[in-house]
Structure 1
Amino acid sequence: MVPDKSAEAPGLLQSFERRFLAARALRSFPWQSLEEKLRDSSDSQLLLDILQKHEAVHSEPLDELYEALAEVLTAEESTQCHRSYLLPSGDAVTLSESTAIVSHGTTGLITWDAALYLAEWAMENPAAFIDRTVLELGSGAGLTGLAICKTCRPKRYVFSDYHGRVLEQLRENIFLNGLSVEPGVTPPLQHPGCGIPDLEKPAVTVAHLDWDLVTVPQLSAFQPDIVIAADVLYCPQTILSLVRVLQMLSACRKDRPALDAYVAFTIRNPETCRLFTAELGQVGIRWEAVPHHNQKQFPYEKPSEMGMLKLML
């Protein structure tokens, strides 16, 4: 079957839009696909649109582009930026993120690809979250949780992390997307266009959670119906601490039905993943691999192998 070229242009333009709003590096944009599209004499509509926009500008646009580029190159670099991630509904999650991978001694101030992967899975499986209490371990910048709050209608959402600066930025991002944190936190003015109708807003909590110090009573107080985590399998010590928390969450259940937990990760080192599953086996936590889904909703930093496990706590 011949591809529908009329449908290719909107998809290409949407790819540019998603990467632009997420502040991705220019080298990651689909320039080759654009060039091939423009060279295709059988479909000149995209080129025609560009030319019409060019003709609508009465001044020489290249001069303006060079001036803008010069300003960017000479400007002092900011340590923070705003990124927007488009959702299937047409809404967006807008986040304040660090411009550096490591900032303030932590990697939790940016959105990692596993958070995108878990958010995509959640939006494809909203029934797992509707009217339920969600506990997220290692929320970081907040992308996954905010996407779930905006699209999956949870009853309550508990964001958690341990680093002070991460928690501060996390609260800012929650307010930026039209949610408020309970209890006793006064939100600033909501960002235009990022509101959620009051009837659909979940109760939101931000918890300081140190995996090495947290106790069973503290975890039990959250009363989660489902637990999630993204990109938390990056070193042996962290894995041991995470398994400790999962074991305690399992102990909270006692005579109640098993608690489902979903852990998404980028497969950087297969040994790290094997260590995690081995430690789960040591403490008697059953697990199964979650089938891969199409990574089409968000612009990823680079092609990587992703994985996700479902745990029965």
Structure 2
Amino acid sequence: MGKQEVNKHTWKMALSEQKEEKPEDILRDFRASFFSMNRLASFPWTFLDSELQSNKSSEFISELLKQTCLHPLCGKFPPSVRFRRIFLSELIKREAAGCDPLDELYDALAEVLGVEETLHCHKTYFLPTGDAISLLENVAVISEGTTGLVTWEAALYLAEWVLENPQVFTGRSVLELGSGVGLTGITVCRSCSPVRFVFSDCHAVVLEKLRENVRLNGLGGGKSPSVTVDQLDWTTAPEEQIRRIRPDTVIAADVVYDPEVAGSLADLLLKILKCSAAAEILICSTVRNPETYGGFKLRLEAAGLGHQVLTGPVGAVFPYNRLAPIELIKVFRVQEG
């Protein structure tokens, strides 16, 4: 069975299991999807429709509002204005077809209609412990000349793998390349007890937002683990900077999307392994363009580096598109001779 077929099978199984979930599970799913601004089509609407048809009561919608738009997190770290408007409009449409009008639902819509759109929003992801990771992101996928101001699927995939493999990070010095807004790295810091974690990126605006998200989630400031946010340009990074970090583990998510940077990344990984021979290097990629991704692997080979495809995460912690073709590889130096 190919990887795409496995993903489809997993997705179908998830849909099948969803039918057996209890109301509290569905409320939790709605909350997770709402705060991560997941695709509206992926919300468990079927359960809501069934609940409204069988009970003809607005009680479930009232509870649903408490877990989404009326949740304290929404006041502190709100999803985008547009997303909240669309979500509430969808709720109203379904409520109108299934039960009597709920005043607080219309009040919530009226409130958000009066809010001005901004270029920024918050996305919140819930860890298995119940703790929340809240990130300030840009609403637009591409803004200020970079794609690094939003959370991408490979970062969520890698974060789930991190939660299932804490031993790769516990007690270690970890370097993240192309940290973006910080989801994967913050997950490592919150869940795996590294000794040190270095977030890195090369784009000044990304670094500014990254530092803000690190502070937002209570990291740094002398607390354990030791956390720094460094500028790291793959084409010019001096060996002394790598030696200073001396990482035991290196991670990166969704950094192989441009043929021009593939060679720079391969050269940087070789430089890291020369400075820290025992480092474990994990690269997670959404394979949007097989030619670009294949070219990256060829550049690894040309740099004297091999790779091994790793098994992905088993559990579904974060909501994202699980049909996306995502691959996680471990990169290592090929022994000569």
TM range (shorter): 0.7 to 0.9
Q: Residues 1-313 of structure 1 correspond to what in structure 2 (within 5 A)? A: 7-36=21-50, 49-50=59-60, 62-66=102-106, 68-73=108-113, 75-180=115-220, 198=223, 201-253=224-276, 256=277, 258-294=278-314, 296-300=316-320, 303-313=323-333
Matched letter for residue 168 of structure 2: A
Amino acid at match of 1:50: F
Q: Distance in 2 between matches of 1:4 and 1:23?
A: 19
Deviations 1:168-202 (A, max 9, x none): 111111111111257xxxxxxxxxxxxxxx5xx20
SS at match of 1:311: strand
Aligned partner of 2:60: which letter?
A: I
Whole-Å separation in 2 of the counterparts to 1:142 and 1:212? 22
TM-score, normalised by the number of residues in structure 1? 0.82
Who is 1:194 aligned against?
none
Cα deviation 1:30-57 (Å, max 9, x = unaligned): 2134334655x6xx7x969528869xxx
- Deviation of 1:8 after TM superposition, in Å, equals 3.8
Cα distance, 1:241–1:151 mapped onto 2, change above 3 Å: same
SS of 1:81's partner is strand
User: How far apart in 1 are the matches of 2:61 and 2:247?
Assistant: 55
Tell me the distance in 2 between the aligned counterparts of 1:284 and 1:18. Answer: 42
Distance verdict in 2 for CA 1:26–1:52, change over 3 Å: closer
Q: Give the Å deviation of 1:5.
A: 6.9
Q: Secondary structure at the match of 2:329?
A: strand
Compute the TM-score of the two structures, normalised by the length of structure 2.
0.76
Tell me: CA distance 1:33–1:302, structure 2 relative to 1, closer, same or farther (3 Å): farther
- State the Cα RMSD in Å: 2.7
Report the CA distance between 1:104 and its aligned residue: 1.4
In structure 2, how many angstroms separate the alpha carbons of the residues matched to 1:246 and 1:135?
11
Question: 1:171·1:181 contact (CA, 8 Å) conserved in 2?
Answer: no
Alpha-carbon distance in 1 for matches of 2:218, 2:63: 35
Change (3 A) 1:132 1:294: same
SS at the partner of 1:76? coil
The letter for the 1-side match of 2:45 is W
Answer whether contact 1:117 1:295 (CA < 8 A) is retained.
no
Partner SS, residue 193 of structure 2: coil
Q: Is the 8 A contact 2:181 2:210 kept in 1?
A: yes
Letter in 2 for 1:115: A
Deviation, 1:301, is 5.0
Q: Once the 2 structures are TM-superposed, how far is the Cα of residue 290 of structure 1 from its aligned partner?
A: 0.6
**Unaligned 5+ runs, structure 1:** 55-59, 183-197
| Cα distance, 1:287–1:37 mapped onto 2, change above 3 Å | farther
- Checking the alignment, whether the CA contact within 8 Å between 1:174 and 1:181 is kept in structure 2 is no
Alpha-carbon spacing, 1:124–1:38, altered in 2? closer, same or farther (3 Å):
farther
C-alpha spacing 1:47/1:14, structure 2 compared with 1 (3 Å) = farther
Q: CA deviation at 1:293?
A: 2.2
Which one has the bigger helix percentage? 2
What is the CA deviation profile of residues 85-125 of structure 1, one whole-angstrom value per residue up to 9, with x for unaligned ones?
00011111111111110111111111111110111101100
CA contact (8 A) 1:181 1:206 kept: no
- Which segment is superposed worse, 232-241 or 27-36? 27-36
Amino acid at match of 2:40: L
